[in-house]
Amino acid sequence: MRKDTMFLVQTHLFLGVASALVIHSMPWKVACPHQCICQIKPWYSPQSVYREAPTVDCNDLLLTQLPSSLPPETHTLRLQSNLISALDQSELQGLANLTELDLSQNSFSNTRHLRISSIPVLLSLHMEENQLHHLPDSAFTGLPGLQELYLNHNRLKNISPGAFKGLENLLRLHLNSNRLVGIDRRWFHALPRLEVLMIGGNPVDVIQDLNFKPLGSLRSLVLAGMGLRELSERALEGLHSLESISFYDNHLTTVPKEALQKLPGLKFLDLNKNPIQLVRQGDFRNMMHLKELGLNNMEELVSIEHSAMENLPELTKLEITNNPRLSYIHPQAFQHLSSMESLMLNSNALSALHRETIHSLPSLQEISLHTNPIRCDCLIRWVGAEAEKPVRFIEPQSTFCSEPPELKARKVKEVSFREMADSCLPLIAPGTFPPFKQVRQGEHLALHCRALAEPEPSIYWVTPKGLRLSTSSSYGPYQVLTEGTLEIFGITAEEAGFYTCVAQNLVGADTQSVTVQVDGVDKGQVSSTWQGKDKLEVKDVRERYAILAWPANYNVPSARLSWLTNESLADHHKHSARILAGTQGFNLTRLQPGTHYRVCLHLGPNDTSCVHLRTKEIAVTVATPDLTPAVLLAASALLFLLAAKACQGGTSLGWKRQGGEDPLKPQACSLPAEVKGHVALVCPQQQQQSQMHQAQMQQQTETQCPTKESSDSSSTENSDAQHPQNVQGRPAESC
C-alpha cells in the first residue's frame, strides 16, 4: 500500500494545519450505541478551523449496517473497518450536525448503495479502501457542502465525465491508488474550488494537454507513482494557483521544464525517484516563487550541469540526496539563487563540491555532505579556509574523507587547510558509466564522463579506432558535448569496441574505459600488431630532446614508452612513461646530448615497436638546464601527484585505484603526508625521472581530425596560459 502520509506532508506545508497543537479527548455523557465510544474530540475542518466535535467511534465492529439510535448531536461518525456495503438516508435521520462520515475500509462496491438524499452540513466523506470500481454521473448527490472526498485505494477504473456534479464546494479530492488509466478533464468542470488533487498511484502514463485546465484554484497536485514518461508542454496549463506538485516515483527521464514553466506560482516541486540522468542547463530557470526542490532517490542521476538552476530568487532549500551515481556538480551549476539557505547533498557519490558552488550562494547557511566519498584535497579545501563565511555543516561527525589514503576516515571539518593540496588531479567518478554496455543496432547511446579537479580538467574521448574527440565536437555518428558526454547516434556494429574517456589537467590525468557491445558483437580491445609503416618514428632530434610520433589506429588505453641509453655511465636506467589513450606523439626531454638511445613503444604484451636515435652534440656554449625556482616548485607538485599514480599502477594517474594492472610497472613507494614546497619522494630515482616525462606528456600533440572543433575556450586558454612553450612540430595527423 502506498504511503499517503508522504503526500500529505507536502499538502500540509502550506495549508498550515496546526498539527503541533495536541488537544486531548474529553468525555461526552450521552447514550452511546452498543460497543461504540462517544467522546468530544478535537477536529479541524479542511480549512483548518478547529472545533470540539461530539464523536461516535464504531470502528472495527464487524457491523453490516449503521448502529441505531445515534446521538443527535453527532458531529463525527466513524465506521472504519466494518462490513457495511449500503447506507440509507433514513439511518442518518436526525443527525442535523453530521459533519464528517468515515466509511473507509468497508464493502461498498457501488456509490448507488450510498443512498443519501441530503446531508447539507457534511464536509468530509471517507470512502477509501472500499471496492468501488466505477463512478457514474452524479455519484454523490445530496452533499452540496462537501469539502473533502476520499476515494483512494478503491478499484476505480473509470469515472463518468459528470461523476462529481453537485460538489461545487469540494476542496480536496483523493483518488490515488486506483486503476485509472487516464485523467478526464471533464471531471473537473464540476469542481471550481478544488485546491488539492491526489491522483497518484494510478496507471496513467500520459497526461493530455490541458488535462487540468478547469482547476484554476488548485494549490496542490500529486501525480506520484504513475507511469509518467514525459510531460507535454501544455500538460499543466491552466493551473494558475498551483503551489505544490509531486512527480515522486515516475518514469521521467528529463526534467519536464516546458510544462513546469506553465506554473507561475509553484513553490514546492518534488521530482524524487525518477530516472533522470542529467539535470541540464536551463532545466530549472526563472521559476520566480520556487521555494523547495527535491531531486532525491534517483538511481540514474549522474550530473548536475552548468546553469542547471538559474534565477530562482525564492529558492531556499534544495535537496539532492540519496542518488548513488551522482558524482558531479558543475562549479557553476547554481546561478542567481539569492535566497538559498539550505543545500542538502548527503548520500551521493560526490568526491567534492567546488568552492565556486559555495561562493555562488550568498545566503547559504547550512550544507549537508555526509555519506559521500569525499576526497580531501584542493576541491574541498574551502571547508577549512578561515576566511570562508560560516556555513553550518549538518552531521559534521559523519562527514569523512575517503581519499587520499593518509587522510582517510578523518573528519572533513577537522582536516586543516594546509593539509590539503592546492591543486589536484582529475578524477572520473567510477559510477558515471559502466565498464560494459550492451546496446542494439540503431540505438542512441550516451556515455557521461565528468571530472572535477583544480585546475579545471579538459575531457576527451578515444574511440575504438583511436579517434580522439574533444568536447564540443562531432564526427560521423559521434558527438561529445561540452561537459564530457559522448553520444553515439544510430549505433552499428562498426562502433562496437573499446572507448576511453580521458580527463586531464596540468597536474595529471585520469582515464576510464567502457566496452560497447552492439547486438552481441564485442570487438573488445583490438590487439593488432605493428604492420609495415605503422611504426614508431623519430620526428625531430635535438641536443636534449626528441620528438617521437606513431599512428593510432585503435584505442590503446595502457600504452607505455620506454627509453635507454647504452653510452652514458651516469644514466643507465631504463626510463618509462605511460601514454594516455588517444595520444600519438611524445616529447622525450632531459636527454643527454650526443648520446645514443633506444626508444620503444609498448602497446600490449606482444606489441612493441622500437627506434634508435642519437641526440645532437652540444653547441659551443654549455647550456644549463632551465630550472628557475618557479619551475622547480611547480615540478615538485607535479612529481608528487604523478608519483601517486606511478607507484600504484593502474589506469589512473590518480591515487584512487589500488593495485596495478600494468604488470611492467609494479613499483611501490610511499607518499609524503604533506605537500609543502619541495617534496621528498620515497621512490627510486629513475621513477622520478619518468614521472617528469609523464608531466610533460600532458602537452602532447593532438590529432587534428576532421571534426567541427570549437573546443572549450576556458580550458584551452587555461592550458595555453600555463604552457608558454607550446608543442611545435606536431607529428603528421592520421585519423
509-528 mask for ligand NAG (x: CB under 6 A)?
------------------x-
Cβ closer to ligand NAG: 253 or 527?
A: 527
- When asked if residue 416 is in the footprint of ligand NAG (CB under 6 A), the reply is no
| Contact by Cβ (8 Å): 651, 661 | yes
Strands 309-310 and 334-335: parallel
587 binds ligand NAG (CB under 6 A): yes
State the CB neighbour count (10 A cutoff) for residue 168: 14
Burial class of residue 267 in the structure, from the number of CB atoms within 10 Å of its CB (0-12 exposed, 13-18 middle, 19+ buried): buried
Tell me: does residue 363 bind ligand NAG (CB under 6 A): no
Q: Write the CA distances from 448 to 244, 304, 521, 525, 702, integer angstroms.
A: 32, 12, 22, 20, 22
- Taking Cα atoms as reference points, which of 222, 227, 219 lies closest to residue 180? 227
Q: Using only C-alpha atoms, what is the Rg of the chain? A: 34
CB of 678 or CB of 723, closer to ligand NAG: 723
CB of 593 vs ligand NAG, minimal distance in Å: 13
Least distance from ligand NAG to the Cβ atom of residue 203, Å:
44
- Select the residue interacting with ligand NAG from 567, 674, 717, 720 (CB under 6 A): 567
The 3-state secondary structure of 237-292, one letter per residue:
CCCCCCCEEECCCCCCCCCCHHHHCCCCCCCEEECCCCCCCEECCCCEECCCCCCE
Q: Can you tell me which of 48, 118, 566, 716 binds ligand NAG, judged by CB under 6 A?
A: 566
Please give the Cα distance from 273 to 319 (Å, whole number). Answer: 12
Residue closest to 318 by CA, chosen among 308, 327, 328, 14: 308
Asked if 537 is part of the footprint of ligand NAG (rule: CB under 6 A), the reply reads no
Nearest by Cα to 626 from 688, 545, 722: 545
Nearer to ligand NAG, 33 or 256 (CB): 33
When the beta carbons of 26 and 673 are compared against ligand NAG, the nearer one is 26
Going 137 to 142 to 145 to 146, the CA torsion angle's sign is negative
C-alpha cell, 567? 653510452
Can residue 118 be called a binding residue for ligand NAG (CB under 6 A)?
no
Instruction: Judge whether 289 and 267 are in contact, CB under 8 Å.
Output: yes
**Measured from the CB atom, is 240 or 612 closer to ligand NAG?**
612
**SS3 sequence, 536-576?**
CEEEEECCCCEEEECCCCCCCCCEEEEEEECCCCCCCCCEE
Residue 624 vs 728, nearer CB to ligand NAG: 728
Pick between residue 65 and residue 699 the one whose CB is nearest to ligand NAG. 699
CB of 627 to ligand NAG, least distance (A): 11
Question: How many whole angstroms separate alpha carbon 57 and alpha carbon 448?
Answer: 58
Residue (93 or 97) nearer to ligand NAG, CB: 97
Residue 229 or 596 with smaller CB distance to ligand NAG: 596
Q: How far is CA 531 from CA 470, 551, 609, in A?
A: 28, 11, 10
Cβ-contact 687, 669 below 8 angstroms: yes
Instruction: Tell me if 96 contacts ligand NAG by CB under 6 A.
Output: yes
| Nearest distance, CB of residue 73 and ligand NAG, angstroms | 4
Judged by CB under 6 A, does residue 720 bind ligand NAG? no
Q: Of the candidates 496, 547, 563, which has an alpha carbon nearest to the alpha carbon of residue 728?
A: 547
C-alpha 108/C-alpha 58 separation (Å) is 17
**Residue 549 beta carbon to ligand NAG: minimum distance, rounded to whole angstroms:** 11
Q: Which residues on adjacent β-strands are paired with residue 447?
A: 486
Q: Would you say how long the chain is, in residues?
A: 735
Q: Which is nearer to ligand NAG, 96 or 732 (CB)?
A: 96
All three cell numbers of 370 = 555526509
Q: Is 73 in the site for ligand NAG (CB under 6 A)?
A: yes
Q: Which of 85, 109, 261, 589 binds ligand NAG (CB under 6 A)?
A: 589
Closest distance between ligand NAG and the C-beta of residue 597, in Å? 9
Considering CB under 6 A, how many residues would be counted as binding ligand NAG?
19
Selected binder of ligand NAG within 624, 658, 713, 725 (CB under 6 A):
725
CB contact set of 167 (below 8 Å; sequence gap of 6+) = 140, 143, 144, 146, 149, 190, 191
Q: What is the 3-state secondary structure (H, E, C) of 460-484?
A: EEECCCCCEEECCEEECCEEECCCC
72 belongs to the binding site for ligand NAG (CB under 6 A): yes
Residue ranges in 540-559 that form contacts with ligand NAG under rule CB under 6 A? 545, 547
CB under 6 A: which stretch of 403-411, 428-436, 470-478, 726-734 binds ligand NAG? 726-734
CB of 72 to ligand NAG, least distance (A): 4
The answer to whether residue 302 forms part of the interface with ligand NAG (CB under 6 A) is no
* Interface with ligand NAG, residue 599, by CB under 6 A: no
Neighbouring C-beta atoms of residue 716, cutoff 10 Å: 12
- Beta-bridge partner residues of 614: 596
CA distances from 615 to 547, 591, 629 (A): 11, 8, 27
* Segment interacting with ligand NAG (CB under 6 A) among 36-44, 329-337, 705-713, 724-732: 724-732
Count CA atoms closer than 13 A to 133's CA, side-chain side: 1
CB of 606: closest distance to ligand NAG in angstroms?
4
> For ligand NAG, which is the closer residue by CB, 18 or 96?
96
Q: How far is the CB of 696 from ligand NAG (least distance, A)?
A: 6
Among 133, 229, 410, 596, binds ligand NAG (CB under 6 A): 596
State the chain's maximal CA–CA distance in angstroms.
121
For residue 47, the Cα-to-chain-centroid distance in whole angstroms is 38
Minimum distance of ligand NAG from residue 567's CB (angstroms): 5
Cell numbers representing residue 611 in the block: 627506434
Contact string 600-629 vs ligand NAG (x = CB under 6 A)? -----xx-----x-----------------
Residue with smaller CB distance to ligand NAG, 320 or 548:
548
Residue 58 CB, shortest distance to ligand NAG, in Å, is 19
Half-sphere exposure for 179 (CA within 13 Å, toward CB): 11
- Of 86 and 121, the one with the shorter C-beta distance to ligand NAG is 121
Q: How far is the CB of 626 from ligand NAG (least distance, A)?
A: 8
Grid cell in block for residue 448? 557521461
- Cell numbers 651516469 correspond to 570
Pick the closer one to ligand NAG by CB: 2 or 730.
730
26 to 65: interface string for ligand NAG, x by CB under 6 A: ----------------------------------------
- Tell whether residue 351 is a contact of ligand NAG (CB under 6 A): no
Query: Grid cell 595555453 — which residue?
Result: 720
Nearest Cα neighbor of 128 from 101, 160, 150, 111 is 150
Which of residues 76 and 587 has its CB atom nearest to ligand NAG in the complex?
Answer: 587
Distance, in Å, from the CA atom of 67 to the CA atom of 90, rounded to the nearest integer, reads 12
Q: Output the smallest distance, CB 71 to ligand NAG, in A.
A: 8
- Stretch in the footprint of ligand NAG (CB under 6 A) among 263-271, 397-405, 569-577, 720-728: 720-728
- The minimum distance between CB 698 and ligand NAG, in angstroms, equals 11
Does 532 help bind ligand NAG (rule: CB under 6 A)? no
For residue 662, state whether it binds ligand NAG (rule: CB under 6 A). no
What is the contact surface with ligand NAG in residues (CB under 6 A)? Answer: 72-73, 96-97, 527, 545, 547, 566-567, 587, 589, 596, 605-606, 612, 725, 727-729
